[in-house]
Amino acid sequence: MTLTQLALAAILTEKLWESLKLIWEKKKLSIDRVGALVLGITIALGTGIDLFATVGLPINIPYLGLILTGIIISRGANFIHDLFKITEEVKVKRKAENGKFKNLSLQ
């Protein structure tokens, strides 16, 4: 596992937890959040979208990547946009760091 993958795993874990916490707000079940979760998971399972495999973090438990992706999808487009922005920043930073190390080894 690379540092980039580790950073992405940490970001995705935090975002998943934040999403799941929204199900139970103010000591009651949020029907809107449950509905969004069901739809997000259904869309991910139906289309085969697996964000974890896409970013190089394949999950060894069948369908778990799809289900977790569905939870992330349930947060909506703005959330996904912010998540991709973060992952791109991590990738760009990692590439820059790799470039620095390559330049040092050439000297």
Ranking 5-19, 62-76, 87-101 by mean pLDDT, the lowest is 87-101
Lowest mean pLDDT among 10-19, 54-63, 76-85: 76-85
State the DSSP string of 30-82: -HHHHHHHHHHHHHHHHHT--HHHHTT---SSTTHHHHHHHHHHTT-HHHHHH
DSSP state of 61: S
The answer to pTM > 0.75 is no
pLDDT average, residue stretch 89-100: 76
Report whether pLDDT(32) > 60: yes
Confidence of residue 91 (pLDDT cuts 50, 70, 90): confident
